[in-house]
Each structure stands twice: as C-alpha cells, then as structure tokens.
Amino acid sequence: MKTPLLIFLAVLPVAASGQAADAEKWNTVERMCGKAEWVEKIPSKHDPNSYEEKRKSIKKAEVRLYQREGDAPCCGSNPPLAQSVTNREGIFEFKNIVPGKYWLVIVTGVKHYSHAVTYTPDAKNKEPIVCSDLLYDLSGGELQLGRMIHVD
C-alpha cells in the first residue's frame, strides 16, 4: 500500500543565483494542472509552537496562464494564453500547452494570486503525474506549490 507523504515547497525571495536555480527547479511541473486549496493554519491546543492545517478545495475559481518573461512581474496588460475553471474538488487542467515559463494565476472574487512555474513535460515518466498531486495552496495571501508524493 502506498502512503501519501505531503511535501510543501514554498517560493521564497532569493538573493543568490544558486538559490534562484533551486527555486526554479522546485517550481518546475511535468503537467499543467493541479488542485487549488485554501489552507488555514490553526494553532495546536496542546503545543503553542505547532499548528494543524485545515484544507478546503477552491471550487469554481478561474485559473489563468500567462507567458513569463525573465524576472518581469506577473502579468501586465497581456491577455492570458489559456483559461480554466476549477471543478468541485478544486482541480484544473490546461491542455496543449508548449513547454516554457508561465505565471499561473488563480482568481477568487476580485483577488488574483500568482505563482511562477516552468512547464517541462517528462515523456520518459512511466507513471504520469496526477493533477490532484500538484497542490496550489492559498495560505496567508500567497499562492504556493506543494506536491503529494506517494511512497511505498
């Protein structure tokens, strides 16, 4: 039986070029899809230094994909390259996207949350990435990419 192991990879501001390369590596996705979730951190009643996470799918949110140019901020006045809407589980998918650097933007109400990703499909991967394993978490006003990793 495979047990899911949840790993969250946050994008942090980086100063050194080696750290920037690591952030780019961790934000590279093999498939242009994912699951959008609200994440609320709730302090533990028994340990003030720890917390639990309450997760809720982001339903019927618009998801936009924009071309990313170098270090330019998201998205300017450019129209999105593609649009999708999350389903009741918060899952979305973009098809027929060419490999490259993108801004993934989730729109909830009037708020826009963006995250820089690099799309590099892996044709050699025998087990395709499942969309629900790429987690786009909205927490503290920021969009972060996490991955669900299954281990034996």
Please give the structure tokens belonging to residue 151: 């281990």
Alpha-carbon distance 152 to 17, whole Å? 35
Mean pLDDT (the chain) is 83
Tokens of 123: 């044709």
| Structural contact between residues 129 and 31, judged by C-beta atoms closer than 8 angstroms | yes
Structural domains in the chain, CATH included, are: 3-40+50-151 (2.60.40.10)
Name the pTM for this structure. Answer: 0.79
Tokens matching residue 41: 């951190």
The pLDDT of residue 1 is above 50: no
Lowest mean pLDDT among 38-42, 56-60, 135-139, 146-150: 146-150
Q: Tell me what pLDDT residue 101 has.
A: 94
Question: Which tokens belong to 66?
Answer: 């924009």
% residues pLDDT > 90 (the chain): 53
φ and ψ of 107, to 5 deg:
-110, 120
* pLDDT digits 0-9 by tens, 72-97: 889 878 899 999 999 999 999 999 99
- Which one-letter DSSP state was computed for residue 31? S
What pLDDT does 9 receive? 42
